[in-house]
Structure 1
Amino acid sequence: MRKFNLNNVHLKNKLLIIYFLSVFIPILLTNIIFYHVTTGNVKKQKMQDLTLAFEQIANDFSNTVDEAIGVSSTIYTDDTLHDFFETEYETVTDYVIEYESTFRNFNKYSPVYSAIKSITFYTDNHSMLFAGGIEEITENIQNNHWYQDITQLQYSHPIVRRTASIDTFSVIRQLNYFQTNTREKFVKIDLNTEIIRQAFGNIAFQGNIYLLSEHGRIEYTTDSEVPRQHSTYFTDVHSSSKDSTIFEQEFDLNYLDGWKVVGVVSENAILEGVQNSRKFILYLASINFLVPSFIIIWISSSLHARLLRIVRHMKRMKNQNFELIDGVEYKDEIGQLTSEFNRMSQKINDLINDVYIANLQKKDLELKRKQAQLSALQSQINPHFLFNSLETIRMRSLLKKESETAKIIQNMAKLLRNSITWGKDWVTVEEELKIIQCFLEIQQYRFGDKLLFEIEVDEEAKGFMIPNMSLIPFVENASIHGIESKKGNGFLHIKIEKISEGLRFTITDDGVGMDKERLKNLVDSIQTKEDMGESIGVKNVYYRLKLHYGNQFTFDIKSSVGQGTKVQIIFPSKRV
């Protein structure tokens, strides 16, 4: 696995990495943290505000009831009022006189205490007139739940009950303070309905308020969906409110024993302030995100575009396009790099014009010189070969005086024709073999049975292209220097085969051969740039192969005295 290296990352990706690590991620994390902290603070403050509002509601209701409780305590201990209800009146006149002097004083509580709507006394004293705030304890009264609750109390303390509707509450108390009490009597103080609504309708508490009795029954609520005609329990309502926050406060008073105020606020109401602040956070985050992003993109685009322009011009240089970079030469590092590139490009272009072109001209002259040398080498083969051929014909004609020379003359004509058309540098193996065949027939005509030869050629090797007259000098050396100097008959074997490296030419004779020293001198003289001297044909071929193939061809000579000589050449498939 290749190890990660920042130097292998493209500049554009590096700028993106800088952007994400230095701008995007820090801003994103900062805003997320800021949002959560702000949300927590807003929610905490909201909960504190709701708690204070809820406590205020409970306290307002408790204070309202306390006013009525205070009035009930005053009435409870008033001995004059006790005597008024205990007296058996003989006539209506006596009752009216006593009512006017005693009872009317208690009507002053209603206008003094705003929490009190009205005060009603109930008694079983039938000598009294039941009017003007005094009512008879009838069977209907006895059937009311608040009457049953007050009569079942073991201790003498007031109770608070919903008496008429869900909005009407009353403080009820038995008047049995004195031991001389002989009659049943109690007072019912109705609380001001509007005061109750104001107490529970605190706009600072954004939820529903439920006043619950000791049995969990809803006695009062601001929830408009709760039916007012029937007894509804809070558990029935709250079971459908799962995503809500519950506020609860129980009254620690004997007359409100088990009663409590419950507030239910939905999460949406609590988070309303958070949602309002969310827009501000989003706006602030957008500014923090967009402004740095714009600045980084603006600066990075300047760097990236200018560097890409330099890279494009540098790539064009490999195609010898030394176009200069146009534009203002800025003073930053990229501007300096651009200026240096233009200076380098101009310098290279000048060097090419001054040095490279001059070098090409020199190479061209050198090539022409080598071509002239090659032509000179080639031209040296023809006179040398024709001299030997013509000398053979002359000697044969002088000795035998026969017309059989027609065949040899025909072969000479072929050789002469090939010499005239020397300008053809490359020929096929098949064309080269025709010249070799003519030469060997001439030599065989000269030596008679002294020279025997065999030519073995692969069919696929006949079309291989080789330099013109690159094989015949070795055939000439083998026949003249190898076979001719030998006593007795000689055999010459030529083999041409196609191999993976190219073409392999092998010529073997069983002539006189050479000793090691002479062979070494021959090889050294061929491979060094000496004057032609001896072995001109072999040297010509070696130099021509050197010019055409460089060091890619293989040339090998092996020889032993009395056993003959073997020459092997491997022609590569490609030329230099």
Structure 2
Amino acid sequence: MLILYLFCVFIPIVFTNVLFYNVTTNNVKNQRMKDISRAVEQINIDFRSEVEDAVTISSVFYTDYNLNQILETDYDEPAAYIEAYDTYFRRILNTYPPVYTSIQNIKFYVENPTMLHSGGIGYLSSEMKQTDWYQMLNKQDDAYPIFVRTQQEDLYLKTDTSTAKNTFSIIRAMNYFESKNHWQKYLKIDLKASTIEQIFQNQNLQGNIYLVNDKGDIEFTTDPAVDWRMDSVAYKALEFPKDAIEFQAEYSYVSYLEDWRIIATISEEEVLKDVRQSREFIFVLACLNIFIPTLIILWITRSLNERLVRILRHMKKVKNQNFDTIKQGEYLDEIGQLTSEFNRMTIQVKSLIDDVYVADIQTKSLELERRKAQLNALQSQINPHFLFNALETIRMRSLIKDETETAKIIHNMAKIFRTSLTWGKDRVMVSEEIEFIVCFLEIQKYRFEDRMDYHIDVAPSAKDCPVPKMMFLPFVENASIHGIEPLRHGGKIEVKVEREANELIFTIRDNGIGMNEDKVRQFYGYLDSEEEIGERIGVQNVIYRMKLIYGDRFHLLIESSPGAGTYIRVRVPLE
């Protein structure tokens, strides 16, 4: 459940919220960048529109023949000039400013000394010829107007060169009718500074805006740290924050604004301000998305875990024959159904044990008692002590008659007979097991005389090791009866017992008739066979006993071939 929660709830929610935040941030940032670009472009358009209005007015004056005649006429007396001024000049000067609200002032500078220098007419004095705009007009060859930053009109009479240039003007030479020009004439149209500031004070831009001329100098800015009215500051000389984002709008194909630019610098934090404001909302939403499912999953997981642990605990009790039912409320889910089925199963098993198993045990106990009675009856008919006493009497009579060899064989037979009938203990020492083997081999040697010989080698460290009773004797019996006895000239059996670390190794080798491959495979087949112990004690039953005692911890090796004898090695762990 924790893995399910981690990979299906926690990680997807965190990933989704992070992805949502990043996508939202990028979308808002891109949208904000587009809005700022459009705002800069709108400032660019509005500013150009105001300048073009002034240029349009200047073009009208530039091509006005009547106006050119008034400016070129030599007046004999002031009354003649005043009459011409009132009839035409005053009317055209008063026509445009009310229509074009961005126009602050319209003034003509002339060299004609017969005109009165007032009411829109100014004298082109030597001081005026030292101004920047006059120098710029004289340097250009065409008749296009120029756009420059200038001083307010009422400040031109001052000689203080530190006076601030606080407005913009369109200036052009009135030389359209060159053949009829006797005097130099210049038109100067001043724009309202308040209108320019209103254009650049765009409410959608929270950064600074710069109007940069073709030389890279700042002509106007909303940056309070730059005194654009008094100083000529290069834009590249300014230092901006590392996260500042720059937006530009350039003027192209406009002679009087060629290579001028409007640049806006806004911090990235300001661009992403809306996202930052919604960050807390996204964080709270993510916490709710994680916290509420977590509580629900923990509640469900705790309920599942407690009931599963309770079922497991009662199952262990059932293993120990404690058939208690689970006391809990009714649940309709799968674990509740499992609990109900467990209780029903427990009650049924307990009932079966009480009704069937116990009765069966009683029946088998009665059968065992009956078998035991039969066995006691048989033992009473043939008492082993009677047989032992009879054999001992025969042995003593043989000794009296000096038949020591017969007495020895009878003694060995009695020892083997007593060992095979006495099963009070299932474990014997290796030395005791070897005694049984010696008794058996002596009897076989008595039977075959010189046809059979044997050699036994037991390591001192192996003599006191416990082994299952009669574990090695069947292998010796098998080697003697099936290996040596069929030989005409007899053979030899070699038995060796040694200890290696915590293992006991028993080996037996004979030079008898040997076994074919099928017989060897039959012996190995006993290792995988699940048959029960038979009535006689043989190699098969020995292997089965070792499987019961040692499991897969004992090892059997058989090497044999017809006519080459048999080699068997048994390796068992010491206990």
TM class, shorter-length: 0.5 to 0.7
- Write the deviation string for residues 439-492 of structure 1: whole angstroms up to 9, x where unpaired: xxxxxxxxxxxxxxx999867676568879xx9xxxxxxxxxxxxxxxxxxxxx
Alignment CA distance shift 1:495-1:193 (3 Å): closer
Does the Cα contact within 8 Å between 1:122 and 1:185 map onto a contact in 2?
A: yes
Aligned partner of 2:49 in structure 1 is: 62
Inter-partner Cα distance in structure 2 for 1:230 and 1:143 = 19
State the 1:151 CA deviation.
Answer: 3.1
Does the Cα contact within 8 Å between 1:86 and 1:182 map onto a contact in 2?
A: no
State the 1:100 CA deviation.
Answer: 8.3
In the alignment, is residue 170 of structure 1 matched against residue 169 of structure 2? yes
Inter-partner Cα distance in structure 2 for 1:171 and 1:189 = 5
State the 1:337 CA deviation.
Answer: 1.2
Aligned partner of 2:185 in structure 1 is: 185
Aligned partner of 2:384 in structure 1 is: 381
Does the Cα contact within 8 Å between 2:245 and 2:266 map onto a contact in 1?
A: yes
State the 1:225 CA deviation.
Answer: 4.5
SS of the counterpart of 1:25?
helix
Alignment CA distance shift 1:381-1:134 (3 Å): same
State the 1:169 CA deviation.
Answer: 0.8
In the alignment, is residue 161 of structure 1 matched against residue 164 of structure 2? no
Aligned partner of 1:213 in structure 2 is: 213
State the 1:48 CA deviation.
Answer: 4.3
SS of the counterpart of 2:112?
coil
Aligned partner of 1:515 in structure 2 is: none
Alignment CA distance shift 1:304-1:95 (3 Å): farther
Aligned partner of 1:198 in structure 2 is: 198
State the 1:335 CA deviation.
Answer: 1.2
State the 1:328 CA deviation.
Answer: 1.3
Aligned partner of 1:87 in structure 2 is: 74
What is the aligned residue count?
Answer: 476
Does the Cα contact within 8 Å between 1:458 and 1:496 map onto a contact in 2?
A: yes
Structure 1: unaligned runs, 5 residues or longer:
1-10, 401-410, 438-453, 472-492, 507-526, 530-538, 554-569
Alignment CA distance shift 1:550-1:161 (3 Å): closer
Alignment CA distance shift 1:295-1:148 (3 Å): same
Aligned partner of 2:12 in structure 1 is: 25
- Partner of residue 131 from structure 2, selected from 129, 137, 144: 144
State the 1:213 CA deviation.
Answer: 3.3
SS of the counterpart of 1:139?
coil
Does the Cα contact within 8 Å between 2:13 and 2:286 map onto a contact in 1?
A: no
Does the Cα contact within 8 Å between 1:316 and 1:322 map onto a contact in 2?
A: yes
Inter-partner Cα distance in structure 2 for 1:386 and 1:224 = 134
In the alignment, is residue 248 of structure 1 matched against residue 235 of structure 2? no
Between 1:365-374 and 1:378-387, the stretch displaced more is 365-374
State the 1:206 CA deviation.
Answer: 3.8
State the 1:380 CA deviation.
Answer: 1.7
Does the Cα contact within 8 Å between 1:124 and 1:185 map onto a contact in 2?
A: yes
RMSD over aligned Cα, in angstroms?
6.1
- Report the TM-score, using the length of structure 1 for normalisation: 0.59
SS of the counterpart of 1:125?
coil
- Report the TM-score, using the length of structure 2 for normalisation: 0.60
Inter-partner Cα distance in structure 2 for 1:202 and 1:549 = 103
Structure 2: unaligned runs, 5 residues or longer:
152-163, 403-410, 439-452, 474-491, 499-503, 511-532, 550-568
Between 1:338-347 and 1:259-268, the stretch displaced more is 259-268
Q: Which letter does structure 1 place at the counterpart of 2:311?
A: I
Q: Which letter does structure 1 place at the counterpart of 2:338?
A: L
Does the Cα contact within 8 Å between 1:47 and 1:270 map onto a contact in 2?
A: no
Aligned partner of 1:490 in structure 2 is: none
Q: Which letter does structure 1 place at the counterpart of 2:385?
A: N
Aligned partner of 1:332 in structure 2 is: 333
SS of the counterpart of 2:148?
strand
Question: Larger Rg: 1 or 2?
Answer: 1
State the 1:63 CA deviation.
Answer: 2.3
In the alignment, is residue 346 of structure 1 matched against residue 333 of structure 2? no
Aligned partner of 1:115 in structure 2 is: 102
Inter-partner Cα distance in structure 2 for 1:293 and 1:378 = 82
Alignment CA distance shift 1:462-1:259 (3 Å): closer
SS of the counterpart of 2:387?
helix
Inter-partner Cα distance in structure 2 for 1:551 and 1:263 = 95
Inter-partner Cα distance in structure 1 for 2:534 and 2:140 = 142
State the 1:314 CA deviation.
Answer: 3.3
1:281-430 matches, cutoff 5 A: 281-288=282-289, 290-292=291-293, 294-357=295-358, 373=375, 376=379, 380-390=383-393
Q: Which letter does structure 2 place at the counterpart of 1:263?
A: I
State the 1:200 CA deviation.
Answer: 1.4
State the 1:372 CA deviation.
Answer: 9.0
SS of the counterpart of 1:169?
strand
